[in-house]
Structure 1
Amino acid sequence: MNDTIQKNLQYKKYILDSKLQYFKPHSSAVEKTFAEEISYSLSQDPKFISPKFFYDKKGSDLFEKICSLPEYYPTRTEISILEKLQSELPNFLDDTFQLVELGSGASVKTRLVLDIFTKLQTKTEYFPIDISEILTESSELLLKDYDSLHITGIIDTYEGGLEFLKNYDDKKNLILFLGSSFGNFTPDEGRKFLQTIHSMMKPGDLFLIGLDLVKDKQILESAYNDSQGVTSEFNLNVLSRINDELDADFNLNDFSHYSVYNSKDQRIEMYLKSLVNQSVVISKSNLLLNLLKDELIHTEHSHKYGLDQIHNLLNDVKFEIKHTWLDDNNYFSLTLVSKN
């Protein structure tokens, strides 16, 4: 890659060994962005925190625990679909594809796709994009199990990572966006995000996206308010992260986790509820935050979709739909598209 491009994108390159390297924005730039975004979002009415800030090391670990909870159906359901793809996805690939993943996390589901790639190729190039440092740990574990794997990680936002890869090489990519992360976007944000992906794809690239489907309200609310309280701990952890990284003084005992399904807008809404009237100082954001008792800080939307809505949205963004796979209960979908 051109050194000028690397410099302009403000990335530092780390080479761990011959099969593993990663790029990361300079830490000062990341800290500034986090501080500025928190200052802005907590100054709005209503207040909010972007769900992308859930995923520091502890947050990523807690999310992995959520994925194994009995109430949380999305992960095991999506895995069941990926198992079906073992015999079907190769029909859309050849041995020249690279694998790119948005939000790789601990790479549990990634292995099911890597199994497909390593059967097709003598050398597999994998580009995980994740805002969390967990990317490097999961990459090292993958390399132990896949002899032909070479990994170039990008520790950044999805948009930042995609922009980076746009200038990296001219090889064909299969871009994965698994889980139900797309549901975190508002409809307008989601459309813009899909347009961004479309604009950064090269002719011949493919995009595989996971989307959670509309279903019974009780099933949905239980998935985001588990009996063991792990989702509550995950939600509250974002305040701990702000305390640690932005020198704030949130008292987590003064907040509670609150989630509800909004049937009209087809989305789970997740909040942090202030249990008392309180003031919080966030030093690095130059913010004095005043909260009333019962005031809500919005932390996540998780939109659910009908199949017609999914296909209409993808068609509107000018994707060509190749195939949609469903689980046996029609809880979840995986849709493969190309650039039209």
Structure 2
Amino acid sequence: MSKTIQNSLNYKKYVVDSKLQYFKPNSAKIEKSFADEVSFSLTQNSKFISPKFFYDKKGSELFEKICDLSEYYPTRTEINILQNLKENFAKYVDHSFRLVELGSGSSVKTRLILDILNKFQEKIEYFPIDISEILTESSSLLQKDYENLHITGIIDTYEGGLEFIKNYDNKKNLIIFLGSSFGNFVPEDGKKFLKKINSTMKSDDLFLIGLDLVKNKETLENAYDDSKGITAQFNLNVLSRINDELDADFNLNNFSHYARYNENKQRIEMYLKSLVEQFVVIQKANLSITLKKNELIHTEHSHKYKLSQIKELMTQTGFDIKHIWLDENNYFALTLVSKRF
């Protein structure tokens, strides 16, 4: 990557060793974005906080705990699909592909893809994109298990990381977006995001995306409101992050976690409910807000899909479907696509 591109994208390069480096926007860029977005979202008639801000270090750790819960089926179901697609998947990729991951987290599922690549790649290149600092920790752990793994991490939003990849070089990319994070987008924003990914792809790039499927209401609501209260901690942690990073004075005891499945819109809706009328100051966003008793702050949508909707969505956003893998219960889908020309 040229220094011109690096500087124009406002990134700083950190070299850990010969096989691990990462790029990070300067802190002022990240803080300004967080403050600006919170200032906008908490002054709307229906207040909200973007789910991308869940994933600071503590938030990422809490999400890993959620993934181990008996009620939370998406992670174990997707892992099961990944474990079973090895032979089928290998026919679509070869030694010339680099792995690019959106939202790497702790890389549990990433290892299953790396195992496939490791069978025929002497040197594996891996570019994880994650807004959380956990990326550097998980990268170091991965390298202990894969001696031929060369990692270039990008600590940024998905959009920022995709722009970085677009301008990096001409190598073929296998872009993966695992989990059900795509469901966080409202439909129109989801289409825009897929078109964004499409616009960064070369003709021989591939994109693998995980999508949660429509199922019964009880299973869905239990998955997002677990009996141990871990999801509640995860939801409330976004207020802790605003307190810590933007000098706010949210009292977490004044809020509760609230999740429901909207069958008409095929989505889980997650909120923070204000238990009392209260006044909150967010210093670095230059913002003061008043919350009524029982007022909701929306924190996440998690849309669920039918197979027919997945096929239509990919067609509308410029992709050709190579393969769709499902689990035995049809709870979850992994869809591999290429860019249509």
Interval of TM-score (by shorter of Structure 1 and Structure 2): over 0.9
CA distance in 2, matches of 1:317, 1:50: 23
Which runs of at least 4 in structure 1 moved beyond 6 Å after TM superposition? none
Partner residue, 1:263: 263
* Matched residue type, 2:268: I
Letter in 2 for 1:130: D
User: How far off its partner does 1:74 sit?
Assistant: 0.1
| Aligned ranges 1:6-155 → 2 under 5 Å | 6-155=6-155
Could you tell me which amino acid in structure 2 is paired with residue 52 of structure 1?
K
Residue equivalent to 2:181: 181
The alpha carbon displacement at 1:331 in A equals 0.1
Instruction: Give the Cα–Cα distance (whole angstroms) in 2 for the partners of residues 268 and 282 of structure 1.
Output: 28
Residue 168 of structure 2 aligns with which residue?
168
Unmatched runs of 5 consecutive residues or more in structure 2: none
Within 1, Cα distance between the matches of 2:193 and 2:103? 14
Counterpart position of 1:289: 289
CA shift for structure 1 position 85: 1.4
Aligned partner of 2:199 in structure 1 is 199
Tell me how far apart the structure 1 counterparts of residues 174 and 322 of structure 2 sit (CA, whole Å): 13
Q: CA deviation at 1:172?
A: 0.3
Distance 2:225 2:121 in 1: 42
Q: Does 1:243 align with 2:240?
A: no
| Aligned pairs for 1:218-233 within 5 A | 218-233=218-233
Identity of aligned residues (%): 71
2:211 — aligned with what? 211
| Partner SS for 1:182 | helix
1:211-242 superposed Cα distances (whole Å, 9 cap, x missing partner): 00000000000000000000000000000000
Q: Distance in 1 between matches of 2:120 and 2:283?
A: 52
RMSD: 0.4
Match of residue 4 from structure 2 = 4
For 2:122, the aligned partner's letter is: T
Superimposed CA distance per residue, residues 68-100 of structure 1 (whole angstroms, 9 cap, x where no aligned partner): 000000000000000111111110011000000
One-letter amino acid matched to 1:31: E
For this pair of structures, how many residues does the alignment match? 340
SS of the residue corresponding to residue 299 of structure 2 reads strand
User: Offset at 1:302?
Assistant: 0.1
**Code of the aligned partner of 1:254:** N
Deviation at 1:318, TM superposition (A): 1.6
Instruction: Report the secondary structure of 2:58's partner residue.
Output: helix
Tell me the distance in 2 between the aligned counterparts of 1:316 and 1:56. Answer: 33
TM-score by length of 1: 1.00
- For 2:208, give the aligned amino acid: L
Q: 1:311 — aligned with what?
A: 311
**Bigger shift: residues 85-94 or 203-212:** 85-94
What is the identity, as a one-letter code, of the residue corresponding to 1:238?
Answer: V
Distance in 2 between the 1:172 and 1:184 partners?
28
TM-score, normalising length from structure 2? 0.99
Shifted more, 309-318 versus 296-305: the winner is 309-318
